[in-house]
């Protein structure tokens, strides 16, 4: 039975989610504040963490940051009433894997849960040969999860890394925003969001700003491509 940690202070939301997940044969543990959520996440293994952003004593962004600082890589799904792209991007930048805006239907929540648990299981169980991707002076070591440009290491968040990995695996190929959303986030996001553009900008600042040859290129009306010119 898959174990899920739910961190939310709204009793009605907690009861709604718990009932639906129980029907899907998930075991659900609940924390009603941020500090308890961090404590539970660090003390016991879970297959997924569902985390509300608006929490008493410590908001969800802080909780997510502390969980990741504790080297817990369990997939995290944010629940938020804040649908603005900058808030979504901030949450993902803290190490979350996906988000869902309230109010939502349980069928949508369940689909995202399944996708995140599936991806987490895949990441945990992979035993592949050492894989390194290169283009120009950029090197991505997918085993060590490191990125180098011109022999200097670049620090990326988990979301930035996943996005770069999709780009370098498809180097020379133009990828649409939909392609990147579905590949880097493994879920169908609201297509109105500009979260892809936000993260492309993050990558450019870290990878291309001080480089003579830019690698991330915009193809107007089509998407983005990683290539050497």
In this prediction, residue 40 carries a pLDDT of: 95
The Cα–Cα gap between 191 and 25 comes to 31
Q: Is the pLDDT of residue 101 over 80?
A: yes
Q: Is the pLDDT of residue 106 over 90?
A: yes
For 217, residues 6+ apart whose C-beta sits below 8 A from its C-beta are 224, 225, 226, 227, 229
Q: What is the CA radius of gyration of the chain?
A: 18
In this prediction, residue 125 carries a pLDDT of: 41
> Phi and psi of 127, rounded to 5°?
-135, 75
- Domain 132-226 fold is Arc Repressor Mutant, subunit A (1.10.10)
Q: In the chain, what is the greatest distance between 2 CA atoms, to the nearest angstrom?
A: 56
The Cα–Cα gap between 44 and 139 comes to 35
Tell me: domain 3-125, CATH 3.40.50.150, correct?
no
Q: Is 132-226 the same fold as 3-125? A: no
What confidence tens digit (pLDDT) does each residue in 139-193 have? Answer: 999 888 889 998 889 999 888 999 999 999 999 999 999 899 888 876 655 656 7
Is residue 138 within 8 Å of residue 148, measured between CB atoms?
Answer: yes
Kindly state the helix (H) or strand (E) to which residue 141 belongs, with its residue range. strand 138-141
Q: Is the pLDDT of residue 99 over 80?
A: yes
In this prediction, residue 82 carries a pLDDT of: 62
Domain boundaries, the chain: 3-125, 132-226
Q: Is the pLDDT of residue 126 over 50?
A: no
């Amino acid at each position: 039975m898959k174990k899920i940690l739910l961190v939310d202070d709204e009793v009605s939301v907690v009861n709604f989610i718990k009932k639906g997940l129980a029907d899907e044969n998930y075991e659900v543990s609940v924390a009603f504040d941020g500090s308890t959520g961090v404590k539970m996440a660090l003390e016991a293994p879970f297959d997924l963490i569902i985390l509300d952003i608006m929490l008493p004593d410590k908001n969800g962004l802080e909780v997510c940051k502390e969980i990741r600082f504790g080297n817990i890589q369990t997939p995290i799904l944010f629940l938020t009433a804040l649908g603005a792209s900058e808030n979504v991007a901030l949450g993902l930048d803290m190490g979350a894997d996906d988000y869902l805006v309230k109010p939502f239907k349980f069928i949508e929540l369940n689909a995202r849960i399944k996708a995140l648990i599936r991806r987490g299981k895949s990441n945990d169980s992979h035993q592949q040969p050492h894989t390194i991707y290169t283009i120009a002076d950029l090197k991505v070591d997918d085993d060590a999860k490191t990125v180098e440009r011109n022999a200097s290491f670049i620090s990326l968040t988990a979301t930035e890394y996943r996005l770069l990995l999709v780009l370098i695996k498809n180097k020379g190929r133009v990828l649409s925003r939909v392609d990147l959303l579905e590949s880097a986030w493994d879920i169908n996001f609201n297509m109105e969001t500009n979260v892809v553009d936000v993260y492309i900008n993050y990558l450019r600042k870290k990878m291309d700003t001080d480089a003579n040859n830019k690698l991330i290129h915009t193809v107007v009306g089509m998407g983005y491509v990683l290539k050497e010119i």
